[in-house]
Amino acid sequence: MADDETRYGEQEPTYRIGMDYSKTAGLAAIHTYEMTGRSAQPWQELLTYDILAQNKEGLWVHTKCGYSVPRRNGKGEVLTIRELYGLANGERILHTAHRTTTSSSAALRLANLMKDSGYTELSRKKKGEDVEGCYLYSKQFGLERITFLETGGTVDFRTRTSAGGLGEGFDLLIVDEAQEYTEDQQSTLQYVVSDSANPQIIMCGTPPTAVSKGTVFPQFRELCISGDTEDTLWAEWSVDQQSDVNDVELWYKCNPAMGYQLNERKIKAEDKTDVVDFNIQRLGLWVRYNQKSAISEVEWKNLAIETVPKRQSKKCIGIKYGNDGDNVALSIAYRTVDGQVFVETVACNPIRAGNQWIIDFLTRAVDVASVVVDGANGQRLLADAMKRAKLKPPILPTVKDIIKANASFEQGIYNDGIVHRAQPSLVQVVTNCDKRPIGSNGGFGYRSIMPDAEIALMDSVILAHWAVNELKERKKQTISY
C-alpha cells in the first residue's frame, strides 16, 4: 500500500445511474475477497456494494449492471469479488468473454484466489469424502469450470458465440469484454438466467473503438443515461469529449487505480500519437461508432454558426477525388479560439477540368499546415503537380488513416466539436448519407443516399478535419549550459 502522500485516482464514478437501496451483501463479498490476502480498492468496494444491493425480499435491486473503466484499472477484480461471493453462496455463474484466452485467464485467476483463501483443490470428488473448504477446477482450455463443493456453487468460463449457453441455466451471467458483445450473442445468452429465482447480468468493459463490433454495451449505456430502464445500474469513469492526452488531471479523474497499480510514470510512457484511441482506452471517452442511422439534419444544423470564427491554428486542406471518377472536392478546416474545428467547403469540380485550379488555390493559400489528398483517381497526379509547383508534399492517407478520420468526424459531431456555416451543398450531402464498411475490422466511411449529392464533398471536409486533429503542438525548445 502506498504512503499517505500518494495521490489516488477518483474513486467515485464520473457517472453513476442506479436505484436507491438500504441493504447490500457487498460487505460480505469484500470480506470473502479479503480472505485471499488482498484488499479491494475503494472504487471496487463501492461498485460491489451497488451490484450486490438487495431489496426487502433479499433479491438483487439491480438485475442488470454495466460499468466501464479504462484499461488496466482492475475492472476484472470486481467480477472476481462477485464470483467468490457467488461460489460461497451456491450460485451458478456463467463467465463469458470475447476471447478464449481472456476467459481462460479469468478461470486461472479465480482458482488461484480460491487457493489463496485457504481452500483445497481436489482432482475429483470421492464418495463419502469430507468436502468442506474444497473445490474442483476443470482445466480444459475454453471449457474451464470451478466448483465449490461445500456449497455447490459453480463458475463456468466460456467464449461467447451466438449459440453459447443454450440449454443451460445459471443465476448470474457475466459479460466480460462487453464492448464486443453483439445482439446475436445477447439473443441467446440473456435467457440463460431466466429460470433463476434471483437472476443477475453484469457487463463490464471499455468504450468501443472504431473496430469494436458489439452494439449491446453502448445501447445499454444510452438507455440507462436516458432513464429508459428499470432495476439497472450503470457506472463509468470518463471524459465527455476528446481531451488533451497530456492533461494529468484527467488521468486521475478517469483512472481510479492511479496510486495503486497505475501511476503517472506508466501513463507517460504510453503511446499518445493516436489521440482518439488514447481518449477511448485511457480517458474512457464514448464515441458513437455503432449507430445504425447516419447524421441527421438536426444534428448537423445544431453545429451551424453565422459568422466565420476566429482562427487559433494553421489551416488544413482536404482534397478528395470521388470514387466514381467524376468530381474532386476541396475543403479547409482549422481550430478556433473556442477549441472547436471550423470546416468549410471551397469547391467541387469535375475531374476532367484538371488540377490547375487546385494548384492555383494552394499557391495562394497562406498559413497552411498540411494538405491531405485521397482518391486513387487523382492523388498521385496531384502530388506530382504540387511537386512541380514547388509546394509542400501532400499527405496521402492510408486505409487506417481514413477509418480514423471518419470516426473522429463522427465524434466531433456528437461532442459538438465541429462548427460550420451551413453551406447548402454540404448540408445536403452530410444529412443524406449512410455508412459503408471500410477494411475488415469494423471501420466505416460514408456514401450518399441521394443520386445528385457528391459524397467527395463530405469526404474532403472529413480529411481537413482529421488533419487539424493531427496537428501537434510544437514544444518550446530549452537550452542548457
Yes or no: say if 182 and 216 are a contact pair by the CB < 8 Å rule: yes
pLDDT of residue 288: 61
Please report where in the chains the cell 445504425 appears, as a residue.
Answer: 292
Convert the pLDDT of each residue in 82-116 to its tens digit: 999 999 999 999 999 999 999 999 999 999 999 99
Instruction: Count other C-beta atoms under 10 Å from residue 261's C-beta.
Output: 13
Q: Express each pLDDT in 404-427 by its tens digit.
A: 999 899 889 988 999 999 999 999
Q: What is the DSSP string of 177-222?
A: SGGG--HHHHHHHGGGGTT-SS-EEEEEE----TT----HHHHHHH
Give me the pLDDT at residue 162, please: 63
Q: Is 271 exposed, middle or buried (0-12, 13-18, 19+ CB in 10 A)?
A: exposed
Q: What pLDDT was estimated at residue 32?
A: 96
> Any bridge partners for residue 344, and if so which?
332
The DSSP annotation for 293-359 comes to S---HHHHHTTB-SSPPPB-S-EEEEEEE-TTSSEEEEEEEEEBTTS-EEEEEEEEEEGGG-SHHHH
Phi, psi of 429 (to 5 degrees): -75, -40
Classify residue 59 by burial, with Cβ atoms within 10 Å: 0-12, 13-18, 19+: middle
Which domains are assigned to the chain? Answer: 15-281 (3.40.50.300), 297-470 (3.30.420.240)
Neighbours of 407 (CB within 10 A): 23
Which parts of the chain sit beneath pLDDT 50? 1-2, 290-293, 473-481
Q: What is the secondary structure of 247-272 as a DSSP string?
A: -HHHHHHH-TTBTTTB-HHHHHTS--
Q: How many residues can be counted in the chain?
A: 481
**Backbone phi, psi, residue 404, to 5°:** -65, -40
What pairing do the DSSP bridges indicate for beta strands 23-24 and 134-138?
unpaired
